[in-house]
Structure 1
Amino acid sequence: MESESTVTTCYRHPKVESHVRCTRCDRYICPNCMREAAVGHQCVECVKAGARSVRQARTAFGGRITAVPLVTYVLIGLNVLAYLAELIRPEIVDRFGMLGSGLVDADGGHWLWQYPYSSDLTAEGLANGEWYRLLTGAFLHMPVTEGSFGILHIVMNMACLWNLGRTVEGQLGRVRYLALYLLSALGGSVLVLLIAPDELTVGASGAIFGLGAAYYVMARRLGADMESVNRFMIGLLLWMALSAGLTSWQGHLGGLLTGAVVTLAYAYAPRDGRRALVQAGVCVALLVLLAVCAWAKVAQFTAI
């Protein structure tokens, strides 16, 4: 008597005959569902499950290792787009640049802050509740009408962002890097607000000085050769001093100090389950401190 052989089919494609089993789940799989494994083949679902169970590699600061500095690309793109918008609409600088307090008349003329002010003048800046200026000013740059430095301003900043950003993002990971950049930009704006509230300032320099501080702190934490790193920091500090007459040294210093604090938290947080919590806690605490300082300063504008 002749026995009838049983036909086995792929569990994902029931109409396809298969004689190979997944080495993990032991189900039959067809050639389209086979994935090479260390021994034999695995099905698509088992490969995905295995990938989820593998612990992703982390940097010394807790960030995920990424090959593409995506955040740096996006930040450069936003700065360039903002600059192109300035060329089309120059009034964007006055509308979104960092300004603590100022007055504007009906003809668009700008005046120094005084309180109380006459009815034919209108408040502008943070004194008028325009809190977004604390960050939007960090994505704008000197207009091209400011001479050659107007163009050099964005060119130099984007060159620095390209060189520093890729290194720092690679070590911190995207989330920590973005938090560092935005907090440094905010820290620069807040120091401008505290020291020179009536000056309109623009530029990514505060955030970039924050990246410079991060580069220095990370190098020390990783035990790198500090000779070249120290030369870099000396050059950065010299530029902050020499450019004080052309740019906002307050924004540079505020970004530098903020970036240093954030990166110290990243670098020296305990390397256990508390690391992410400590790092996030320091960032939130710093954000609250900057917000309180900004609010207190703005409140003084209308105090008599």
Structure 2
Amino acid sequence: MTQVPGSPHTPQDAQGDGGLPGCSRHPDRPTGVRCTRCEQPICPECMVSASVGFQCPSCVRTGSGTGHPPGAAAPRTLAGSTIAADPRLITKILLGLNAAVFIAVLLNGGETGWLLRRLDLVGLVEPWPSPPYGVAEGQWYRLLTAMFLHAQIAHFAFNMLSLWWLGPPLEAALGRLRYTALYLLAGLGGSALSYLLAAQNQPSLGASGAIFGLLGATAVLLRRLNYDMKPVLILLGLNLVFTFLWPNISWQAHIGGLVVGAAVAFGMVHAPRHRRTLVHVATCLAALLAIVALVWVRTLQLLG
């Protein structure tokens, strides 16, 4: 885009606290927020609330809500994805998948345990029907299917409410593909740590690992945008207290999901603009390799 000297979008070299760039209209004000259309830094005074993120006054004046100013780059999310018309689509799909599996379990009636045993996360389950099955026997799909199972209505309701609350802002900030990758990797991270550290024959299921991953990612995103961290830190603290004090909760899945979700989000929102895709792919691959390594180590322990 051609820059006109003195225009609102002239690049600024000002650096504020922590190396943050200066606002494009007020260079002396450091900010971590950028216009979702032209990607210029904007301070709180210049932020104009939009359907996704914030826009600068110039983009609001020169464009309609769906296009972008002539010569300007197409609008992008904070992580560099194209802005979707429905920033809740993937979240709705995930909610639908969880609900469908939960209903399928309920419809099994007396055979509920049969379905759960074939999809939850276990090591070696010798007391259950032969042949033995589980991740240790090569059924790695259980690391994924366990993320969509809930044995109780309260467990299901709490996780789905959390998903609906945490998911859309992250989906809007990261974009659909990156958000999907983060959710799945966080859930797999929770499954992997539960598989590694939990008792050998202890079944484990639920979307909680992925939900904790979204919570960790939210904290990383708010820190990146220089927003008030107190609400999310209080929420995270309360959830961790319940994790370790409430009975029958897999703390391993919660911690695994939290760590992976925060790590993947950090790589996505802090990647250099000119190498975003490369850094994002490398971050996801590194998380996936770490998950595979944990599962491999545990499998060797069980079968060795």
TM-score, length of structure 1 as denominator length: 0.72
Matched-pair contact (CA < 8 Å) for 2:125–2:132: yes
1:218 maps to which of 216, 221, 230 = 221
Shift of 1:204: 0.3
Distance 1:216 1:208 in 2: 13
Q: 2:272 aligns with which of 258, 270, 278?
A: 270
Aligned-partner residue type, residue 126 of structure 1: V
Distance 1:131 1:55 in 2: 42
Residue 95 of structure 1 is matched in structure 2 by: 118
Q: Which residue of 2 aligns with 1:123?
A: 132
1:67 Cα deviation from its structure 2 partner: 4.1
Q: Aligned match of 1:179 in 163, 178, 181?
A: 181
Post-superposition offset of 1:163:
0.4
Is contact 1:102-1:127 (8 Å) kept? no
Give the aligned partner of residue 96 of structure 2: 77
Deviates more, 1:204-213 or 1:163-172: 163-172
Deviations 1:232-287 (A, max 9, x none): 222222232233x1221111111001101101101211122x11111111111210
Maintained 8 Å contact 2:267/2:283: yes
1:151 corresponds, among 143, 150, 153, to 153
- Counterpart AA for 1:61: A
Residue of structure 1 equivalent to 2:302: 301
Alpha-carbon separation, structure 1, partners of 2:240 and 2:249: 13
What is the aligned partner in structure 1 of residue 20 from structure 2? Answer: none
| 8 Å contact from structure 1 (residues 214, 260) kept in 2 | yes
Which blocks of at least 5 consecutive residues in structure 1 are unaligned? 1-49, 109-120, 143-149
> In structure 2, what is the Cα distance between the partners aligned to 1:161 and 1:250?
19
Aligned counterparts of 1:292 and 1:253: Cα–Cα separation in 2: 17
Q: In 2, distance between residues paired with 1:229 and 1:60?
A: 19
CA distance in 2 between counterparts of 1:54 and 1:70 reads 27
Cα distance in 1, alignment partners of residues 233 and 85 from structure 2? 27
Aligned-residue Cα RMSD (Å) equals: 1.9
The ranges of structure 1 where at least 4 consecutive aligned residues each deviate by more than 4 angstroms after the TM superposition are none
Gaps of 5+ in 2: 1-67
